[in-house]
């Protein structure tokens, strides 16, 4: 019987799970901290993607005005808490991330061809891991989020003149940051395995519709690099929050391109 961690591999197989652990753990710590701040998430025409859509809140980006009276005071209030469960659920149940964090967070298995910490294998066919099947529903929500974030990028092109109060077209570094973020999240979302399934056709059969075939081919193309999209969009969304936060705090200045 193999011992836990036993392997014939001679390479540094533990490096990748370790890097994944450091990357994901750092993101979770930062995102949790940022989500509970409840301030410095908007400046000028920019809003942090951690807080968008701002369903209730105090910034001018809020859809339905300030905090609702029914919100329990014991939790404090941060608009991010109303929405972040959806993209968080999308990442948590993502096929790529599952393979990555099963290895790096609970070493089951530690890596390919490295012995596991137990003798039986139940797969994802029983609780709790059967809940990972909710991924397709998180995908539907994630598509809505991508649309909202592109709308935020569009709004980030309209600046208010402080003297006249008139809106005018322009572009700042923040506009590029928010547009890049929406693009990376789009590349991640539309390369999702469930999205391929959604647009591909029918059960065990690809659609004959040329439009559907084209969308399926595009999704498959993004899907080939799904891991890269996953990581780039993860760093992108964190950086977009940091950018808006530091500009809002006056630590960074948003350079205007025109």
Q: Which is nearer to ligand FES, 31 or 247 (CB)?
A: 31
Nearer to ligand FES, 31 or 114 (CB): 31
Could you tell me the two tokens for 82?
A: 């109303």
User: What residue ranges bind ligand FES (CB under 6 A)?
Assistant: 90, 94-96, 135, 139, 192-194, 226
* Residue 252 DSSP SS3: coil
Question: Closest distance between ligand FES and the C-beta of residue 29, in Å?
Answer: 22
Cβ atoms of 88 and 141 closer than 8 Å:
no
CA-nearest of 113, 254, 104 to 170 is 254
Q: How far is the CB of 18 from ligand FES (least distance, A)?
A: 22
Q: 102-106: long-range contacts at Cβ-Cβ below 8 A with a sequence spacing of 24 or more?
A: 103/16, 103/17, 103/20, 104/16, 104/17, 104/18, 104/20, 104/21, 104/24, 105/21, 105/24
Comparison of 90 and 238: residue with beta carbon closer to ligand FES:
90
Cβ of residue 27: shortest distance to ligand FES, in angstroms?
15
CB of 198 to ligand FES, least distance (A): 10
Nearer to ligand FES, 95 or 239 (CB): 95
Describe the crossing of helices 135-155 and 85-93 by its angle, rounded to 10 degrees: 130
Nearer to ligand FES, 37 or 220 (CB): 220
């Amino acid at each position: 019987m193999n011992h836990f961690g036993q392997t014939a591999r001679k390479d540094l197989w533990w490096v990748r799970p370790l890097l994944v652990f450091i990357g994901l753990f750092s993101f979770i710590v930062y995102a949790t901290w940022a989500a509970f701040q409840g301030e410095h998430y908007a400046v000028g025409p920019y809003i942090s993607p951690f807080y968008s859509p701002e369903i209730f809140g105090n910034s001018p980006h809020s859809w339905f005005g300030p905090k609702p009276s029914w919100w329990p005071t014991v939790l404090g209030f941060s608009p991010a808490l109303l929405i972040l469960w959806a993209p968080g659920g999308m990442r948590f149940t993502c096929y790529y991330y599952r393979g990555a964090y099963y290895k790096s967070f609970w070493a089951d298995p530690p890596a390919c061809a490295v012995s596991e910490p137990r003798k039986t294998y139940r797969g994802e066919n029983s609780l709790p891991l059967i809940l990972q099947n909710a991924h397709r529903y998180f995908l539907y929500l994630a598509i809505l989020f991508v649309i909202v974030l592109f709308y935020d990028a569009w709004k980030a092109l309209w600046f208010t003149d402080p003297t006249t109060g008139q809106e005018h077209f322009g572009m700042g570094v923040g506009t590029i940051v928010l547009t890049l973020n929406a693009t990376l999240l789009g590349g991640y979302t539309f390369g999702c395995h469930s999205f391929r399934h959604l647009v591909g056709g029918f059960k065990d059969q690809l659609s004959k519709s040329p439009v559907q075939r084209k969308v399926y081919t595009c999704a498959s193309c993004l899907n080939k690099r799904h891991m890269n999209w996953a990581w780039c969009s993860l760093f992108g969304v964190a950086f977009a929050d940091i950018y808006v936060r530091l500009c809002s705090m006056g630590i960074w200045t948003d350079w205007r391109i025109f």
